[in-house]
Chains A and B, each alone.
Chain A
Amino acid sequence: MAAADTAKNKNEQGYWAFVNKQFRKKKTAVISLYIVIVLAFVAVFAPFLANEKPLVCKYKGELFFPVLKDIAVGFGIGEFQQQFQNVDWKNLHYDMVVFPPVPYLPMNQDNDNIHSKGPFDDQVVPSARWKHWFGTDELGRDVLSGMIHGTKIAMTVGIVSMLIASVIGILLGSLAGFYGDENFQVSRIRLWGNLLFLFFAFFYSFGSRSYDITDALGRGLGEGFLQLGISILIFAAVMVVGNLLVIPLKKIPALGKQVAVPFDLIIMRVIEVLNSIPTLFLILLIISIVRKPNLYVIMGIIGLTGWTGIARFIRAELLKVRNLEYIEAANSLGFSNPHILFRHAIPNALSPVLISIAFGIAGAILTESTLSFLGLGPADTVTWGQLLSYARQIPQAWWLAIFPGFAIFITVTTFNLIGDGLTDAMDPRLKQ
Chain B
Amino acid sequence: MKPVEVETKSGKTESGKKFFFAKISFPLFGYILKRILIFIPTLFIISLLTFILIAAAPGDPAETMLSRSSAEGQASDKLATERSYRELRHKLGLDLPVFYFAFTNAAQSDTLIRIPTKNHREMLDRIVYEYGNWPQIENYYHELKALEFAIIATKKDSTNTNALIELRNTVAKIFIHHEDIVLTGLFADLKTQAALATNLADIKAKAASTEAAYNKVKSEATVWKRYIPNIQWSGTHNQYHRWLLGEAKWFGTETDPTKGKGFMRGDYGISFFTKRPVKSVIWDGLWITMLISLLVILIEYVISIPLGISLAVRKGSTYDSTVTVGLFLTYSLPVFWIGTMAIFFLCSPDYLEIFPPFGLGDATWDDGFFYKIGDLAYHLALPLIIASYASFAYLSRQMRGSMLSVLGQDYIRTARAKGLPDNKVIWKHAFRNSLLPIITIFASFFPALIGGSIILEFLFTIPGLGQITYAAVIQKDYPMILTNTMFAAILTLVGYLVSDILYAVVDPRISYSKK
Interface residues of A, Cβ cutoff 8 Å to B: 199-200, 203-204, 207-208, 210-211, 269, 272-273, 275-282, 284-289, 291, 362, 366, 369-370, 373-376, 385, 388, 391-392, 395-396, 398, 401-402, 405-406, 408-409, 412-413, 416-417, 420
Q: Is the CB of A405 within 8 A of B229?
A: no
Q: Is the CB of B56 within 8 A of A289?
A: yes
Question: Given that A392-B340, A412-B332 are known contacts, is A289 also in contact with B447, CB under 8 Å in the complex?
Answer: no
Q: What 9 A-B pairs are tightest by C-beta distance, nearest first?
A: A278-B451, A405-B337, A289-B57, A280-B451, A413-B332, A278-B447, A288-B473, A281-B488, A278-B450
**Residue interface mask B475-500, A partner, CB < 8 A = 1:** 01010010011001100110010000
Q: Is the CB of B341 within 8 A of A401?
A: yes
Question: Given that A273-B49, A289-B53 are known contacts, is A395 also in contact with B451, CB under 8 Å in the complex?
Answer: no
Would you mind naming 12 contact pairs between A and B with Cβ atoms under 8 Å apart?
Answer: A273-B45, A275-B447, A276-B493, A278-B451, A281-B488, A288-B476, A370-B455, A385-B336, A395-B350, A396-B350, A405-B334, A408-B337
B310 within 8 A of A: no
Q: Is the CB of A289 within 8 A of B54?
A: yes
Expressed in whole angstroms, the minimum distance between the Cβ of B401 and any Cβ of chain A is 11
| Chain A residues whose C-beta falls within 8 Å of the C-beta of B451 in the assembled complex | 278-281
Which residue of chain A is the closest to B58 with respect to CB atoms? A291
| Chain B residues whose C-beta falls within 8 Å of the C-beta of A288 in the assembled complex | 54, 57, 472-473, 476, 478, 481
Question: Given that A203-B105, A272-B42, A278-B448 are known contacts, is A391 also in contact with B340, CB under 8 Å in the complex?
Answer: yes
Q: Is the CB of A281 within 8 A of B450?
A: yes
- Checking A199, A208, A398 against B105 with a beta-carbon cut-off of 8 angstroms, the contacting residue is A208
* Complex CA–CA separation, A255 to B353 (angstroms): 76
Question: Given that A211-B129, A285-B53, A288-B476 are known contacts, is A369 also in contact with B334, CB under 8 Å in the complex?
Answer: yes
Q: Is the CB of A277 within 8 A of B488?
A: yes
* Complex CA–CA separation, A203 to B227 (angstroms): 8
* Complex CA–CA separation, A396 to B49 (angstroms): 44
B372 within 8 A of A: no
Question: Given that A275-B447, A412-B334 are known contacts, is A398 also in contact with B53, CB under 8 Å in the complex?
Answer: no
- Checking B56, B337, B473 against A409 with a beta-carbon cut-off of 8 angstroms, the contacting residue is B337
Which residue of chain B is the closest to A362 with respect to CB atoms? B332
Q: Is the CB of B103 within 8 A of A273?
A: no
**Residue interface mask B431-467, A partner, CB < 8 A = 1:** 0000000000000000110111011001000000000
* Complex CA–CA separation, A343 to B198 (angstroms): 82
Q: Is the CB of A289 within 8 A of B58?
A: yes
Contact residues of B between 305 and 354, Cβ < 8 Å to A: 328-329, 331-334, 336-337, 340-341, 343-344, 348, 350
| Chain B residues whose C-beta falls within 8 Å of the C-beta of A278 in the assembled complex | 447-448, 450-451, 488-489, 492
* Complex CA–CA separation, A273 to B344 (angstroms): 39
| Chain B residues whose C-beta falls within 8 Å of the C-beta of A286 in the assembled complex | 53
Q: Is the CB of B350 within 8 A of A409?
A: no
* Complex CA–CA separation, A101 to B334 (angstroms): 29
| Chain A residues whose C-beta falls within 8 Å of the C-beta of B478 in the assembled complex | 288
Q: Is the CB of A284 within 8 A of B454?
A: yes
B396 within 8 A of A: no
| Residue from B45, B333, B344, B469 whose CB has the most chain A CB atoms within 10 Å | B344
Expressed in whole angstroms, the minimum distance between the Cβ of A424 and any Cβ of chain B is 12
| Chain B residues whose C-beta falls within 8 Å of the C-beta of A273 in the assembled complex | 42, 45-46, 49
* Complex CA–CA separation, A102 to B140 (angstroms): 63
| Chain A residues whose C-beta falls within 8 Å of the C-beta of B489 in the assembled complex | 276-278, 281
- Checking B103, B454, B469, B496 against A207 with a beta-carbon cut-off of 8 angstroms, the contacting residue is B103
Q: Is the CB of B344 within 8 A of A276?
A: no
Task: Give the interface size bracket for B toward A.
Answer: 35 or more
| Residue from A269, A280, A362, A420 whose CB has the most chain B CB atoms within 10 Å | A280
* Complex CA–CA separation, A133 to B54 (angstroms): 45
| Chain B residues whose C-beta falls within 8 Å of the C-beta of A409 in the assembled complex | 332-334, 337
| Chain A residues whose C-beta falls within 8 Å of the C-beta of B226 in the assembled complex | 208
| Chain B residues whose C-beta falls within 8 Å of the C-beta of A280 in the assembled complex | 451-452, 454-455
Interface residues of B, Cβ cutoff 8 Å to A: 42-43, 45-46, 49-50, 53-54, 56-58, 103, 105, 126, 129, 226-227, 229, 328-329, 331-334, 336-337, 340-341, 343-344, 348, 350, 447-448, 450-452, 454-455, 458, 469-470, 472-474, 476, 478, 481, 484-485, 488-489, 492-493, 496
| Chain B residues whose C-beta falls within 8 Å of the C-beta of A369 in the assembled complex | 334, 336
Expressed in whole angstroms, the minimum distance between the Cβ of B481 and any Cβ of chain A is 6
Expressed in whole angstroms, the minimum distance between the Cβ of B7 and any Cβ of chain A is 32
* Complex CA–CA separation, A346 to B340 (angstroms): 43
Expressed in whole angstroms, the minimum distance between the Cβ of A46 and any Cβ of chain B is 22
* Complex CA–CA separation, A376 to B454 (angstroms): 12
| Chain A residues whose C-beta falls within 8 Å of the C-beta of B105 in the assembled complex | 203, 207-208
| Chain B residues whose C-beta falls within 8 Å of the C-beta of A291 in the assembled complex | 58
| Chain A residues whose C-beta falls within 8 Å of the C-beta of B476 in the assembled complex | 288
Expressed in whole angstroms, the minimum distance between the Cβ of A272 and any Cβ of chain B is 6
Which residue of chain A is the closest to B482 with respect to CB atoms? A285
Question: Given that A277-B492, A409-B332 are known contacts, is A285 also in contact with B337, CB under 8 Å in the complex?
Answer: no
Expressed in whole angstroms, the minimum distance between the Cβ of B324 and any Cβ of chain A is 11
| Chain B residues whose C-beta falls within 8 Å of the C-beta of A374 in the assembled complex | 454-455, 458, 470
Which residue of chain B is the closest to A281 with respect to CB atoms? B488
- Checking B341, B469, B484 against A405 with a beta-carbon cut-off of 8 angstroms, the contacting residue is B341
| Chain A residues whose C-beta falls within 8 Å of the C-beta of B452 in the assembled complex | 280
Q: Is the CB of B341 within 8 A of A402?
A: yes
Expressed in whole angstroms, the minimum distance between the Cβ of B245 and any Cβ of chain A is 20
Instruction: Beyond A208-B227, A289-B53, A385-B336, list 8 extra A-B contacts (CB 8 Å).
Output: A280-B451, A281-B454, A281-B488, A284-B473, A374-B454, A396-B350, A405-B341, A413-B329
* Complex CA–CA separation, A291 to B59 (angstroms): 9
* Complex CA–CA separation, A362 to B454 (angstroms): 20
| Chain A residues whose C-beta falls within 8 Å of the C-beta of B42 in the assembled complex | 269, 272-273, 276
| Chain B residues whose C-beta falls within 8 Å of the C-beta of A277 in the assembled complex | 46, 50, 485, 488-489, 492
* Complex CA–CA separation, A369 to B334 (angstroms): 9
- Checking A204, A275, A373, A395 against B336 with a beta-carbon cut-off of 8 angstroms, the contacting residue is A373
- Checking B50, B54, B229, B340 against A203 with a beta-carbon cut-off of 8 angstroms, the contacting residue is B229
* Complex CA–CA separation, A288 to B59 (angstroms): 11
Question: Given that A388-B337, A396-B350, A401-B344 are known contacts, is A199 also in contact with B103, CB under 8 Å in the complex?
Answer: yes
Expressed in whole angstroms, the minimum distance between the Cβ of A43 and any Cβ of chain B is 19
* Complex CA–CA separation, A374 to B29 (angstroms): 42
- Checking B103, B336, B343, B485 against A285 with a beta-carbon cut-off of 8 angstroms, the contacting residue is B485
* Complex CA–CA separation, A280 to B49 (angstroms): 16
Q: Is the CB of A287 within 8 A of B229?
A: no
* Complex CA–CA separation, A281 to B56 (angstroms): 17
* Complex CA–CA separation, A392 to B484 (angstroms): 26
Which residue of chain B is the closest to A391 with respect to CB atoms? B340
* Complex CA–CA separation, A291 to B350 (angstroms): 39
* Complex CA–CA separation, A66 to B310 (angstroms): 61
Q: Is the CB of A284 within 8 A of B336?
A: no
Expressed in whole angstroms, the minimum distance between the Cβ of B153 and any Cβ of chain A is 35
* Complex CA–CA separation, A416 to B327 (angstroms): 13
| Chain A residues whose C-beta falls within 8 Å of the C-beta of B472 in the assembled complex | 288
- Checking A200, A281, A395 against B229 with a beta-carbon cut-off of 8 angstroms, the contacting residue is A200
| Residue from B46, B50, B337, B489 whose CB has the most chain A CB atoms within 10 Å | B337
Q: Is the CB of A408 within 8 A of B484?
A: no
* Complex CA–CA separation, A75 to B435 (angstroms): 56
* Complex CA–CA separation, A286 to B58 (angstroms): 12
Q: Is the CB of B53 within 8 A of A281?
A: no
